[in-house]
Amino acid sequence: MGATPDRDLALHAGGCLGAGARPVGADADLRTASGRTAGGDRGPRGRLSCGGRSAEVPGHPRRSDLTQTPPRPAGVSGWQRWLHGTRLQPVELLPIALLGGAAASVWTFLALASEVSEGDTRALDERLLLALRTPGVPSDPLGPPWLEEAARDFTALGGTGVMVFLVVAVTCFLALARRRAEAVILVVASLGATGLELVLKGWYDRPRPDLVPHAARVFSASFPSGHATMSAAVFLTIGALLASTQPERRIKIYIASLAVLLTTMVGVSRVYLGVHWPTDVLAGWTVGAAWAAICWAAAIRLRRTDT
């Protein structure tokens, strides 16, 4: 039979052990000439030292070979190795995700504004608006009388008076709690959203719906909805600030869901009361959400700078 690596190892080990030498190399626990360790497992063999001399054992790796870095797998590009090496933490990915969401919201608004300016959304707006009215009676909102009153209550949450009071109250609380960075972010979010609303309303100057009687008083242009813009910017920013103070994930999700629900109810109430086209509200949501995402990404950056 031909020689095998284990047989060669046994011959080398037997000769050395017979001379009273001790094996050294990749496995210093060699005990018998059969090439087994004390535990009975075959381990890697590299060199045997006998009488001050060492010899390589065929078929077994050297110690230096065991410590070499394995070659990079074929087919892996440079950017994939870089991305794997960076190992970004979730907190580092959040600002990137927020800015990506803001960019998507801006793109959605611009696409929607283009369709509205060309009149392509008129038929859809009318159909959705009439779907919330009693058939044959456009002046009567769909549902019982209390539903119309509830809609007025929800729409008031996005009004100027409520928004100013809410922003001032939360800002003062954050300042007293020595969270000045968050207080500044909230003020910037509210003032920035107000400025965007006024500029965009003046630029597009879309008339209010004339298809149904208004169930609430209005004073400005229709596109985008100011209530939807402000509620998205302020409620989402406050929700993000409050959620960041909570350690439990379920509480974070609850606060964020509540902010989204309030924003949604304010926007839907504007269409239900007949004071906005559905596309006005959708545009307001995209503007407010984009601005809130930018402000929240800035808040994360400020927190890192402070720490």
Report which of residues 70 and 116 the model is more confident about. Answer: 116
In this prediction, residues 290-294 reach a mean pLDDT of: 95
Model pTM? 0.69
Tell me the pLDDT of the chain averaged across its residues.
Answer: 78
Tell me what the mean pLDDT of segment 256-272 comes to: 95
**Radius of gyration of the chain, Cα coordinates, nearest whole angstrom:** 35
CB 191 within 8 A of CB 199: no
Assigned token pair, 108: 């959605």
Instruction: Please tell me the predicted confidence (pLDDT) of residue 225.
Output: 94
| 14-36 average pLDDT score | 44
pLDDT at 38: 42
Per-residue burial over 51-68, b if 16 or more Cβ lie within 10 Å, else e, is eeeeeebeebebeeeeee
pLDDT at 4: 52
Does the pLDDT value for residue 43 go beyond 50?
A: no
Helix (H, G, I), strand (E, B) or coil at 139: strand
User: What Å distances lie between residue 158 and 31, 162, 215, 228, 269, CA to CA?
Assistant: 82, 7, 16, 7, 10
What confidence score (pLDDT) does residue 181 get?
87
pLDDT value at 67 more than 80: no
**Using 50, 70 and 90 to split pLDDT, how confident is the model at 246?**
confident
